[in-house]
Amino acid sequence: DIQMTQSPSSLSASVGDRVTITCRATESIGNHYLSWFQQKPGKAPRLLIFAASNLETGVPSRFSGSGSGADFTLTISSLQPEDFATYYCQQTSSVPFTFGGGTSVEIK
Amino acid sequence: QVHLVESGGGLVKPGGSLRLSCAASGFSFSDHYMAWIRQAPGKGPEWISYISSSGATIYYAEAVEGRFTISRDNTKNALFLQMNSLRAEDTAVYYCVRDRYSTYDSWGQGALVAVSS
C-alpha cells in the first residue's frame, strides 16, 4: 500500500499568513492522482485541488497545489478566518486509495 | 447540482448487519465510478471501496474485504453498501462519494454507523 505522510500534523497561524502543508508518498504516484481536501468539524471533506495543481471550481485562488512524483505541497497564500480547518491529501494512483494523516490549521 | 444522500445508518450490535444506501441526483450517475469512504470519530478519512460505472470492477480495502459488499443500481441512481459481521472498529461516519476522473469531487453528508453491545 502507498502511505501518505503529511507535515506538519498541526500548525498555528494568523490571518494573512502564508501556510504550506506537505504530503509525501512512499512511492511515485504521478501528477494526476493527488488531491487535497479541506474538512471542518461535522462536515464532509471538500475537494480543493485535484491532479496535484488544479483548483476545483469555486475554490478561492489563494489555495494552490504543486508537486510531482512523490512530493506535493498545498499552499494558502493569505490565510482567511474561514480557512481554519483540517486538510488532507489523498492518492488515487493505486488501491487502497490512501489519505494522509491530516494537518490541523489553528488560529494563533 | 450534484446531490448525494446516504441513509440506513444506525446502532447495531457486534456481528450484526446494516445496509447503507446512497441516492444520487443532479448528474449522470451511470457515467461515474462511485466509492464509499468512512471516518471514525477523531480520525482521518479511510477509503473502503469503489465500484466502476457499470459495476463490473470492484475493489475493497483489506479491513472490510469479505464482510462488506458494494453494489449499484443505475436504473435507480443508487449506490449501496452491505455491511456484515460488523465490529466495533467499523464505527464511523460513512460517506458516499462520486469519482470524477480519479478525483473524489462530491461527497454526501454521511451516515453514522455505531457498532456497540
How confident is the model over A9-26, as pLDDT tens digits? 999 999 999 999 999 999
Give residue A40's pLDDT band: very low, low, confident or very high (50, 70, 90): very high
For CA atoms B41, B111, A74, A71, give the dihedral sign: positive
B61 lies within 8 A of chain A by CB: yes
Query: Residues of A with CB below 8 A from B105's CB?
Result: 47, 50, 56
User: How far is Cα of residue A34 from the mean position of the Cα atoms in its chain?
Assistant: 9
CA distance B94 to B90: 10
CA distance B104 to B27: 14
Please give the mean pLDDT across all residues of chain B.
98
**Partner residue facing A88 (CB), from B35, B45, B106:** B45
Query: Residues of A with CB below 8 A from B102's CB?
Result: 32-33, 92
A50: closest CA of chain B, how far (Å)? 6
Pick out chain B residues at pLDDT < 70: none
Q: Which amino acid is at A55?
A: L
Contact B107 A101 (CB under 8 A): no
Q: pLDDT by residue (tens digit) across A71-83? A: 999 999 999 999 9
